[in-house]
Chain A
Amino acid sequence: MRPLHPVSPGLRTVLGISFFVLFIAFWAWITLGGHVNRIFLADPLSMLRDGWRLLVEDRFWLDILITIWRVFGGFLLASVVAVPIGIAMGAWKPVEAFLEPFVSFARYLPASAFIPLLILWAGIGELEKLLVIFVGSVFQIILIIAVKVGSTRRDLVEAAYTLGSTNNSIVKRVIMPANAPEIAETLRLVLGWAWTYVIVAELIGSSSGIGYMIINSQSRLATGQIIFGIIVIGLIGLLSDFAFKAFNRWLFPWSLA
């Protein structure tokens, strides 16, 4: 095969789907063929059956909605705080010098380790779930955006100055629009991580949500339900990522033209 040679769209789709098919076939073979104990791993068919029962009888879709709300709520909260701070750090070097060391340190604090503390502070209600996602996302967003904004093309900034821009309008009319697509891409990336935090938050001290269903199923050895929950998370993540990508493309046609 020639390195770096592009693949045709049709072949790309076929190859992409065929891995899913192989994966599920392998799963069916080891479970339905009796190669692993069914107590520990449900087969694809009972997984679907369990999932259907969850949705129809146990109103699992309510848990799904709650989890989605938590992800987007916490993520929105983090974005509203982090985007302006990130832009300010990238644009004004004294702000960066002031905040960068702390944010770099805080970025490595694991969000999951904050859960016990956040439960003490905020209880086990919705606020605590939002805060876990907030703590997990906010420092990441700040740092990535600060770096992107800091590497704004200098020649564009200089061109704007020679056209009469003031310091403030450089930030508003050059730095912000120039980095808007990258900022949106960063948010899309971090939204993916927020899905991990929400499940962790729901595994501990929760009475609703996809994570709660998963930990609940564990005690009943309902591996079919667990796998169904995991697949639901994957599907929602994929869908939201797809929507986010399409939205960015619609918002910034110039960056792809």
Chain B
Amino acid sequence: MSKLLIEGVSRTFAGVRGGQPVKALMPVDLAVAANDFITILGPSGCGKSTLLRIVAGLEAPSEGRVLLDGKAVTRPGPDRGMVFQSYTLFPWLTVAENIAFGLRERGMAEKERDGIVASYVDLVGLKGFENHWPKQLSGGMQQRTAIARALANDPEILLLDEPFGALDNQTRGLMQELLLGIWERRKKTVLFVTHDIEEAIFMASRVIVMTARPGRIKSDVAIDLPHPRHYTLKTSPEFSGLKARLTEDIRAEAMRTAQAQPARA
């Protein structure tokens, strides 16, 4: 049985000031197996973030439904951990308190929390920064904390919405390896939204390419590159082949978006 089932999910936004309603997402069907790492790749504004937010329960689909372990998603919950592109650490809590947030909401005793928090601080390499405020951290460290915060809740599925989009290239590469390393060791079902082709291939066991708005699934590419993956993989011939193929796919969509722009304005 699939871990996550997306059945005919679409999203239409009401028109602005009496305008035409905007179709952001055409009906999408997707089945995600347990412990799969899926990246959703698409041009800006293709509705990939909307799809992720629907899975998270932060937005309701206009049609269709999302099932997690056979249960319909109706609202956000701790079984679907999320990492956002914007820095969403709670600024009034320290790194350790941020990571403990979900455990505290669950009513877990402080003693028990401390052990779990320490292990996740260690996992994302933030030892020594437990008592820092988010403002004192770099962007990469903030996102590492956000990943730890989502994982500490032990969610059924981890949702990531362009989590490294605001980071510089070098930091992004390191973060990819960190997240992939965690996944290789701990196994978790992951849905990862990105517009970066290299990132999509490097992280994924399966890449879902989406079309320009209104978004729908254009192709579904299995990535059979071996694990554990090392950054040198990005320069291998197999990787280049996949990259060439996906670049072609995504380029066509990006061009469609670019052409559609004046018509919408």
Instruction: Tell whether, in the assembled complex, residue B153 and residue A163 are in contact, meaning their CB atoms are under 8 Å apart.
Output: yes
The interface of chain A, by Cβ under 8 A from chain B, is: 153, 155-156, 158-166, 169, 173-174, 177-178, 180, 252-255, 257
User: Looking at chain A's contact residues, is the secondary structure mostly helix, strand, loop, or mixed?
Assistant: helix
> How far is B91's CA from A174's CA once the two chains are assembled, in angstroms?
10
14 pairs from A and B in contact (CB 8 Å cutoff): A153-B88, A158-B76, A158-B82, A161-B76, A162-B78, A162-B159, A164-B77, A164-B102, A173-B105, A177-B92, A177-B93, A178-B91, A253-B133, A257-B135
> How far is B79's CA from A164's CA once the two chains are assembled, in angstroms?
8
> Which residues from chain B contact A156 at a C-beta distance below 8 Å?
88, 90
> Which residues from chain B contact A254 at a C-beta distance below 8 Å?
91-93, 133-135
> How far is B112's CA from A255's CA once the two chains are assembled, in angstroms?
29
Instruction: Tell whether, in the assembled complex, residue A162 and residue B80 are in contact, meaning their CB atoms are under 8 Å apart.
Output: yes
> Which residues from chain B contact A169 at a C-beta distance below 8 Å?
105
Which residue of chain A has the shortest Cβ distance to B91 in the bound complex?
A254
> How far is B92's CA from A173's CA once the two chains are assembled, in angstroms?
10
Instruction: Tell whether, in the assembled complex, residue A158 and residue B58 are in contact, meaning their CB atoms are under 8 Å apart.
Output: yes
> Which residues from chain B contact A174 at a C-beta distance below 8 Å?
90
Is B111's CB within 8 Å of the partner chain A? no
Tally B residues with Cβ within 8 Å of A.
Answer: 29
> Which residues from chain B contact A163 at a C-beta distance below 8 Å?
78, 81, 101-102, 105, 149-150, 153
Q: Restricting to B142-162, which residues have a CB under 8 Å from any CB of A?
A: 149-150, 153, 159
- Picked from B81, B90, B134, B153, the residue with its CB within 8 Å of the CB of A177 is B90
The interface of chain B, by Cβ under 8 A from chain A, is: 56-58, 75-78, 80-82, 84, 86, 88, 90-93, 101-102, 105-106, 133-136, 149-150, 153, 159
Instruction: Tell whether, in the assembled complex, residue A257 and residue B90 are in contact, meaning their CB atoms are under 8 Å apart.
Output: no
Q: Looking at A158, A160, A166, A252, which has the most chain B CB atoms within 10 Å of its CB?
A: A158
In whole Å, how far is B225's beta carbon from the nearest beta carbon of chain A? Answer: 30
> How far is B210's CA from A214's CA once the two chains are assembled, in angstroms?
76
Instruction: Tell whether, in the assembled complex, residue A180 and residue B84 are in contact, meaning their CB atoms are under 8 Å apart.
Output: no
If A162-B58, A162-B80 touch, whether A155 touches B86 (CB-CB below 8 Å) is: yes
> Which residues from chain B contact A255 at a C-beta distance below 8 Å?
91-92
Instruction: Tell whether, in the assembled complex, residue A159 and residue B88 are in contact, meaning their CB atoms are under 8 Å apart.
Output: yes
> Which residues from chain A contact B135 at a C-beta distance below 8 Å?
254, 257
> How far is B168's CA from A153's CA once the two chains are assembled, in angstroms?
24
In whole Å, how far is A251's beta carbon from the nearest beta carbon of chain B? Answer: 11
- 6 more contacts with CB within 8 A, not counting A164-B106, A169-B105, A177-B93, are A163-B105, A163-B149, A164-B78, A164-B105, A174-B90, A254-B93
